A and B are shown apart, each in its own frame.
Chain A
Amino acid sequence: MVIEIKDLNKGFGDNKVLINFDLNLYKGESVAVLGKSGSGKSVLIKCIVGLMQADSGSIKVFGKDMIGLNAEELDQARVRIGFLFQSNALYDSMTVRENLEFPLRRHWIEKTPEEVEAMIKEALTNVGLPDTIDMMPSELSGGMRKRISIARTLILKPDIILYDEPTTGLDPITAKGISQLMVDVQKKYNTSSLIISHDLNCIKITADKLVMLIDGKNYAQGTYEEMKENKDKKVKEFFEI
């Protein structure tokens, strides 16, 4: 098991968004968390990487509880976790090359300039954009930015990739391309993926298993087909749109 979440609670004042939430992610598995806007999906993955502090419960990543780690331990744990942000979060003031170099330099990974260059080119080739290396993020389209963002996530060769709404704001064709890229990446690097989304097409292509985040809980889980056939009213409404 690569991620084991148990009894996770997180609230903002009186608004409890995660209530005794449980989730398991296994090696090479791709799990999608489906829920309404504001249901706490993004909060969940931000708690996993320590961008938000959970109120209680445990989040074990490779057996190590992420809650209560100091800054140095958290940095070490984060090397194995890639995070794809909903807004891509590419650094505006840096070129594509510098964006990809940044995680390598920040984790103080010792590489020669030639090795770094090769890693950047490999990551860009994997996402199908080797010619964008010297471009600025502002020169790229939405789909290209998403691909570059995936390349930046891949550069550290993480064991787990957390995707926060990977297809939001993209047209259906580009969204399908990104979904396929996510599958290709998983196959090539044997990563485990946790995908936060309410795009059913993306989930259908990428996820082995669905977790329904309803009322702050792991309300139901199963394959896409199982969830689609689920008779529960709250689950059913997601598939009736």
Chain B
Amino acid sequence: MINKPALIRFLEEAGDITRFTLRFFRELFHGRFEFNELLRQSFFIGYKSLGLVGLTAFIMGLVITIQSRPTLVEFGAEAWLPKMVSISLIREIVPVITALICAGKIGSGIGAELGSMRVTEQIDAMEVSGTNPMKYLVVTRVVAAVLTIPLLALLADAIALYGGYLGCNIHGAVSWRLFWNQVFETNTYSDVIPAITKTFFFGFAVGIIGCYKGYNSRKGTEGVGRSANQAVVIASLLIFILDLIAVQIADVLGLT
């Protein structure tokens, strides 16, 4: 049986997120853009996430290579290890895992920061000071997430592949040149471009959900915690949904 209040709540929330997103686009293309704040947010969102994303990417590359090896050895296809690992990492694993890490780190950070600003009236104070908080706080954070998450994913690709190279050499011997030759031979623009393109949408999902939850935070400190938590949960779910859509589109366009 359908739980009507829950369904209504879901539809209301979906409607609110849609309205918030439309307002974001209206503010994005209207009036003066806050470049300084965009740079500041790009630094916090991008640069401050480098270490975490880099470390995770390295571990992913290493682990996937080590785990894939026995199966390929069984079929006598050990030589394909760099090809297989690089395809998996570049097309799917790195973009999705990078986005999920960003949802956890950036999405929750934005949700908590804006939520705290909401409940302590800092957003109201900003408005009274002649600042459009939607433009100053939301637009800059969402654009920063859209611009920096693809860059983080590109960097994570390189680091994950390096992890893969080390993984190949734990039980085997693959030269640096051979490894990269196989990687570049296998991966074409049709692998890299769709994978990076979808990270722009992942970035948008992380930014807009974090901002939506924080900006509309209520009920004091409890509300701030809930906003941060919901920002991560909804953004993570959206990343998988967007990934599914991206794979379908790539399939239809013959890019798989």
Where the two chains meet, the residues of A that have a C-beta atom closer than 8 Å to any C-beta of B are: 46, 49, 51, 71, 75, 78-79, 81, 83, 85-92, 102-103, 106-108
Contact = CB atoms under 8 A, between A and B. Distances in A.
**Interface of chain B, helix or strand or loop or mixed?**
helix
Contact of B116 (A71, A75, A79, A92): A92
A85 B121 CA distance: 7
B130 A85 contact: no
A85 B125 contact: yes
B128 interface: yes
Contacts of B116: 92
Nearest to B119: A87
29 contacts: A46-B124, A51-B124, A51-B127, A51-B128, A75-B130, A78-B128, A78-B129, A78-B130, A83-B125, A85-B121, A85-B124, A85-B125, A86-B121, A87-B120, A87-B121, A89-B121, A91-B122, A91-B125, A91-B126, A92-B116, A92-B117, A102-B126, A102-B129, A106-B126, A106-B129, A106-B130, A107-B129, A107-B130, A108-B130
B127 A89 contact: no
- B116, B117, B128, B132 — which one has the most chain A CB atoms within 10 A of its CB? B128
A102 B121 CA distance: 15
B190 interface: no
Given A90-B122, A107-B130, A108-B130, 9 more contacts: A79-B130, A85-B121, A85-B125, A102-B129, A103-B129, A106-B126, A106-B129, A106-B130, A107-B129
Nearest to A93: B113
B80 to A, nearest CB: 50
A78 B130 CA distance: 7
A134 to B, nearest CB: 19
Interface string B128-162: 11111000000000000000000000000000000
A108 B129 CA distance: 11
Nearest to B113: A93
B124 to A, nearest CB: 5
B130 A103 contact: yes
Contacts, number: 47
Contacts of B124: 46, 51, 85, 89
Contacts of B122: 89-92
A49 B125 CA distance: 11
Contacts of B126: 91, 102, 106
Interface in B180-217: none
Contacts of B127: 51
Contacts of A81: 128
A88 B121 CA distance: 8
- A87, A89, A102 — which one has the most chain B CB atoms within 10 A of its CB? A89
A121 to B, nearest CB: 20
Nearest to B129: A103
Contacts of B129: 78, 102-103, 106-107
Contacts of B120: 87-89, 92
A85 B118 CA distance: 12
A89 B121 CA distance: 5
A193 to B, nearest CB: 16
Q: Which 7 residue pairs across A and B have the least CB separation, nearest first?
A: A89-B125, A89-B121, A103-B129, A106-B130, A75-B130, A107-B130, A106-B131
Nearest to A91: B122
Contacts of B132: 71
Contact of A49 (B117, B128, B131): B128
A90 B125 CA distance: 8
Contacts of A89: 120-122, 124-125
